[in-house]
Protein backbone atom coordinates (compact mmCIF):
# COMPACT_ATOMS: atom_id res chain seq x y z
CA UNK A 1 0.00 0.00 0.00
CA UNK A 2 2.76 2.43 0.92
CA UNK A 3 5.45 1.01 -1.39
CA UNK A 4 5.10 3.94 -3.81
CA UNK A 5 5.73 6.61 -1.14
CA UNK A 6 9.06 8.30 -1.67
CA UNK A 7 10.89 11.08 0.14
CA UNK A 8 9.20 13.89 -1.84
CA UNK A 9 5.77 12.46 -0.98
CA UNK A 10 6.61 12.28 2.72
CA UNK A 11 7.97 15.83 2.69
CA UNK A 12 4.74 17.02 1.04
CA UNK A 13 2.64 15.31 3.72
CA UNK A 14 4.82 16.86 6.45
CA UNK A 15 4.49 20.33 4.86
CA UNK A 16 0.70 20.04 4.72
CA UNK A 17 0.61 18.86 8.34
CA UNK A 18 2.69 21.85 9.43
CA UNK A 19 0.38 24.21 7.54
CA UNK A 20 -2.77 22.66 9.00
CA UNK A 21 -1.72 22.09 12.62
CA UNK A 22 1.24 24.41 13.12
CA UNK A 23 4.73 23.50 14.29
CA UNK A 24 3.87 23.63 18.02
CA UNK A 25 0.93 21.21 17.82
CA UNK A 26 2.61 18.44 15.81
CA UNK A 27 4.74 17.07 18.74
CA UNK A 28 1.64 17.12 20.97
CA UNK A 29 -0.38 15.22 18.37
CA UNK A 30 2.41 12.68 17.85
CA UNK A 31 2.76 12.17 21.62
CA UNK A 32 -0.96 11.63 22.12
CA UNK A 33 -1.04 9.20 19.18
CA UNK A 34 1.86 7.27 20.73
CA UNK A 35 0.09 7.09 24.09
CA UNK A 36 -3.09 5.91 22.42
CA UNK A 37 -1.27 3.18 20.51
CA UNK A 38 0.55 2.01 23.67
CA UNK A 39 -2.69 1.87 25.64
CA UNK A 40 -4.44 0.02 22.82
CA UNK A 41 -1.65 -2.58 22.72
CA UNK A 42 -1.76 -2.93 26.51
CA UNK A 43 -5.52 -3.57 26.47
CA UNK A 44 -5.18 -6.06 23.63
CA UNK A 45 -2.49 -7.94 25.56
CA UNK A 46 -4.54 -7.92 28.77
CA UNK A 47 -7.62 -9.19 26.94
CA UNK A 48 -5.64 -12.12 25.54
CA UNK A 49 -4.42 -13.27 28.96
CA UNK A 50 -6.65 -15.43 31.13
CA UNK A 51 -7.69 -13.78 34.37
CA UNK A 52 -6.26 -15.30 37.54
CA UNK A 53 -9.02 -17.05 39.41
CA UNK A 54 -9.02 -16.35 43.13
CA UNK A 55 -12.37 -17.87 43.99
CA UNK A 56 -13.55 -21.42 43.37
CA UNK A 57 -15.95 -22.01 40.48
CA UNK A 58 -19.62 -21.54 41.19
CA UNK A 59 -21.55 -24.80 41.72
CA UNK A 60 -23.96 -26.06 39.12
CA UNK A 61 -27.70 -26.11 39.80
CA UNK A 62 -27.60 -29.85 40.48
CA UNK A 63 -24.91 -29.36 43.13
CA UNK A 64 -26.74 -26.68 45.15
CA UNK A 65 -28.30 -27.75 48.46
CA UNK A 66 -32.08 -27.74 48.41
CA UNK A 67 -34.34 -26.74 51.25
CA UNK A 68 -36.90 -29.38 52.20
CA UNK A 69 -40.49 -28.67 51.21
CA UNK A 70 -42.72 -27.82 54.15
CA UNK A 71 -45.80 -30.05 53.86
CA UNK A 72 -46.90 -29.80 57.47
CA UNK A 73 -50.71 -29.71 58.04
CA UNK A 74 -50.56 -26.80 60.53
CA UNK A 75 -49.73 -24.19 57.89
CA UNK A 76 -53.32 -23.25 57.34
CA UNK A 77 -55.05 -22.08 54.21
CA UNK A 78 -53.22 -19.64 51.91
CA UNK A 79 -54.17 -16.00 52.37
CA UNK A 80 -55.31 -13.79 49.54
CA UNK A 81 -53.22 -10.72 48.92
CA UNK A 82 -55.94 -8.54 47.40
User: pLDDT tens for residues 8-18?
Assistant: 998 998 899 88
Q: Give 26: exposed, middle or buried? Use CB within 10 Å, 0-12, 13-18, 19+.
A: middle
Q: What pLDDT digit, counting tens, does each position of 20-34 carry? A: 988 888 889 889 999
Helix axes 7-21, 25-48, angle to 10 degrees: 110
Q: What pLDDT digit, counting tens, does each position of 1-10 carry? A: 667 888 899 8
DSSP H or E stretch at residue 62: none
Distances (CA, A) of 42 to 24, 31, 50, 52, 53: 28, 17, 14, 17, 20
- Specify the pTM: 0.43
Q: What pLDDT digit, counting tens, does each position of 38-80 carry? A: 999 998 888 777 666 666 777 787 777 777 666 666 666 777 7
Amino acid sequence: MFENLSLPHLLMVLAVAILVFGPKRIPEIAGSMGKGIREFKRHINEAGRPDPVDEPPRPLADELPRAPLDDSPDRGAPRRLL
